[in-house]
Amino acid sequence: MEFKDFDELIHSINKSLGGFCNTFIYKRKELSKKGRSAKKGFLFVYDSDSNRNWSINEGGGTEIQYHIAFNIENLKLNYGLGFNTQYVPHANEFSSIDYMRPFMNAFLNNETKIQSILPNYSFVYGEKKMLIQPVENEYVLFGRTQIIQIREDKYFIEDQLYNEILEDLKKQFEVYIIIFEEKNKLKTMLSKIEKNIELLEYKKQIILQGPPGTGKTKTAKDIAVEMLGLGNVKDLNNNEQFKLIQFHPSYTYEDFVRGIISVPNENGEGVLFKNENKILAEIAEKALKNKIDSQKGSTELSKEKWLNEQFDKFIYSVSEILEVEEKIELTESVVIIEIDDDAFRYKGVKGWTKRGNRMLFKDIKQAYLDENFERQDLTHNHNLSGLAKWHASYYVRVLDMFKGFLKENKIDFIANTTQKEELKNYVLIIDEINRANLPSVLGELIYALEYRDEQVESMYEYEGKREIILPSNLYIIGTMNTADRSVGHIDYAIKRRFAFVDILPSDQAIDDVVTDPDLNAKAKGLYNKVAVLFNEDRDKTVYIQSDFKAKDVQLGHSYFLVETEKQLELKLEFEIKPLLNEYVKDGILSEDALLEIGKL
């Protein structure tokens, strides 16, 4: 096959693809829900006056696109499925990333399946991480590269290779459909999630409640992904803005907020006890720091960065002195004896504990930033820990040592254009939130849930302070199994501070996940048979006892989301039937239901 220029190549490919072009056009119209079809008979559109060396399908600017490009210099023909975050004229409703992110997520969610369909495809332009964390003005092409020959004054493709290219373009259509359909499902799901996000942004904490198997935890994670601007649920792993914890009946305040832990004594004599922030106080502290930093100017931030760098040098100089002299005198009776990861250890020559007290680095740095000079300045500085104010005489001497270190080494702060900190969201998911005694676990933080950004005093002191703040950029999502009668109810004080969202059984989820028609029919058939057991219409047979509501106990759709018929059989025998039998024992379903359960 010969061609003189890119225009002729595109014309030949469109012609050779024949009826496939219209098949693509009609399917894209269906998937994109566009009112107008593209020009019939053309897969790739190209303006010969544009002098471009690439072409895409019509309308592909803000969608996953068929893409083909010819690099004349190195004679490489690149083609495949493209993801574009570059500016597209007249597409101004969303940002280019917002247009493309759902398609990128759909690719990532189906990556294994896609690779099995297109084993010869790889990332030709860009790389996978650009789909995970997209930025403006980038282009990613998942496809193939073929080398084109030159014969006399024309470009040449062997017939076998040309036919292979055509087959690739037809074969990738299956992947195009998978990505587009997944994107549409994600969009439908996102519209539901957005309502929950609006409520969460208003209330700051919500509880997703429903019977078992309705996907409450999954929904909570999906909300977290959107709140944090991530690509998919996998991105939540090891993300410092996200935490997930599951409550249980023995869970306490000391497990969740702040408590006492024992650690081995470094001198080998028994153990030491110290207070430690737990998961809520820990993520609240991170969120608060981010919120405070986001309100600082670039000069203030650059000074903090400079201070951290210089203080590290100061710590090193102190450690060198301690290696030689074993102690540094602060007063005639108090000396620095060693250095921890985050503090100097200081003690009295007589009468103190062997390892003395901890002088936190952050207190000294804060005193420097607050331009403290004398002991009284530290005593009245509310930004410092209680110990720093109580032992201000010793702290001010270390502050003077640091200032002397800067002066001796002729180190001065020079402002630079440090980038401002972006305000971020932080999300904490509490799974099975009603399994713990919430008033006991939350303690004084019941107040903090309602009055965000205000200090509440903990029963435990940590790093010299008792105060805890739940900032407004920390969002809490709880999940609650409404069928679990073995745990206590949530009292009114807690209920008033949370918004409750019902997550109910739906056979729509089966249609979304179980794509094989025969398996879908069997899964939905079983779902409907189980749903009959929770009928509340008195004109029909009623198995559910009057003390219960179907929306609180009916088995959810996740029990019916399977990949094979064997999985469905296993779920029926080892998950569905046992739970329904438990419902009979617990008085949720009448004994008459046993006959129907046996027929499933």
Nearest-10 crossing angle of helices 392-408, 298-325: 100
- Strand ranges for 350-473 from DSSP E: 357-360, 426-431, 455-462, 465-469
Output the pLDDT for position 344.
94
- Return the amino acid letter for 194: E
Output the pLDDT for position 88.
77
Residue 88 carries which DSSP code? -
Report percent pLDDT > 70 for the chain: 96
Same domain, 170 and 26: yes
Summarised one tens digit per residue, pLDDT across range 295-313 is 888 888 888 889 999 999 9
Give residue 303's domain range: 297-408
Same domain, 180 and 317: no
Rounded to the nearest angstrom, the gap between the alpha carbon of residue 597 and the centroid of all alpha carbons in its chain is 40
Summarised one tens digit per residue, pLDDT across range 199-223 is 999 999 999 999 999 999 999 999 9
Give yes or no for a contact between 215 and 486, defined as CB atoms under 8 angstroms apart.
Answer: no
Of 160, 190, 220, at which residue does a domain stop?
190
Give yes or no for a contact between 62 and 82, defined as CB atoms under 8 angstroms apart.
Answer: no
Of 140, 168, 190, at which residue does a domain stop?
190
**Euclidean distance between CA atoms 246 and 433, whole angstroms:** 7
**Euclidean distance between CA atoms 493 and 388, whole angstroms:** 37
The answer as to whether 112 is a domain residue is yes
**Euclidean distance between CA atoms 323 and 317, whole angstroms:** 10
Three-class SS state of 98: helix
Number of alpha helices (DSSP H) and beta strands (DSSP E) in the chain? 23, 21
Output the pLDDT for position 414.
82
Give yes or no for a contact between 226 and 197, defined as CB atoms under 8 angstroms apart.
Answer: yes
The answer as to whether 100 is a domain residue is yes
Output the pLDDT for position 421.
83
The answer as to whether 481 is a domain residue is no
Same domain, 377 and 512: no
Same domain, 31 and 165: yes
* Total Cβ atoms within 10 A of residue 569: 13
**Euclidean distance between CA atoms 61 and 65, whole angstroms:** 7
**Euclidean distance between CA atoms 104 and 69, whole angstroms:** 21
**Euclidean distance between CA atoms 264 and 177, whole angstroms:** 59
pTM for the full predicted model: 0.69
Total number of domains in the chain:
3
**Euclidean distance between CA atoms 56 and 169, whole angstroms:** 12
The answer as to whether 137 is a domain residue is yes
The answer as to whether 231 is a domain residue is no
Same domain, 18 and 165: yes
Same domain, 15 and 157: yes
Summarised one tens digit per residue, pLDDT across range 133-181 is 888 889 999 999 999 999 888 999 999 999 999 999 999 999 999 999 9
Q: Which residues of the chain have pLDDT under 70?
A: 35-38, 90-92, 265-270, 417-418, 485-489
The answer as to whether 257 is a domain residue is no
Same domain, 182 and 322: no
Of 190, 222, 237, at which residue does a domain stop?
190
Same domain, 182 and 309: no
The answer as to whether 418 is a domain residue is no
Output the pLDDT for position 268.
57
The answer as to whether 170 is a domain residue is yes
**Residue at token pair 């019977």:** 211
